[in-house]
Amino acid sequence: MKNVIKKADIIIIVLLLAAALAAALFLLPTGGGYAAVYSDGRLIGRYALDTDRVIEIDAHNTVTVENGKVYMSYSDCPEGLCRNQGAISAGSLICLPNRLVVVIEDAGGDIDAVAGRV
């Protein structure tokens, strides 16, 4: 059945995979020594990853810095996707229901092009 996969399909699949790979390699998660916490789009604080600490953001979320990584140690959101993301030292942790974002940034606070604050 030639309607299942056409040449154009192969092209679009290869292009999409190549774009994803390129973005993952060149744009994405840059590391950095700091965890910047944003609530509702506002910066709450930046915490160095080389110091272990527990940050109680509010009643809804707690973020823990441990061994150079950061993870969502508590969240009251129903699905817990932010907790499932585990400990990170690059990229971001996002708790959508509570509108909380943790982004790994470098010292200057310049996060890379993709993660620029809106």
Partner 1 sequence: MSGRASRAAYYGLLTAAALLMGWVEQVVAIPLPVPGIKLGLANIIAVLLLYRDGVKTAAAVNFVRIVLGGLLFGGISSLLYSLAGGILATAGMALLYKSRFFGVTGVSVTGAVLHNIGQLAVACAVVGTAAPLYYLPYLTAAAVICGAACGILAAILIKRLPSVDNRQRR
Binding site for partner 1 (CB under 8 A): 1-6, 8-9, 12-13, 16-17, 19-21, 23-24, 27-29, 38, 40-42, 78, 81-82, 84-86, 88, 91-92, 94, 96-97, 99-101, 103, 114-118
Shortest distance (Å) from residue 52 CB to partner 1: 21
When the beta carbons of 17 and 48 are compared against partner 1, the nearer one is 17
When the beta carbons of 59 and 118 are compared against partner 1, the nearer one is 118
Please state the φ and ψ torsions of residue 117, each to the nearest 5 degrees.
-70, 140
Residues 6 or more apart in contact with residue 61 via CB below 8 angstroms: 72, 74, 75, 76, 82, 95, 98, 100
Shortest distance (Å) from residue 20 CB to partner 1: 4
CA distance 93 to 54: 15
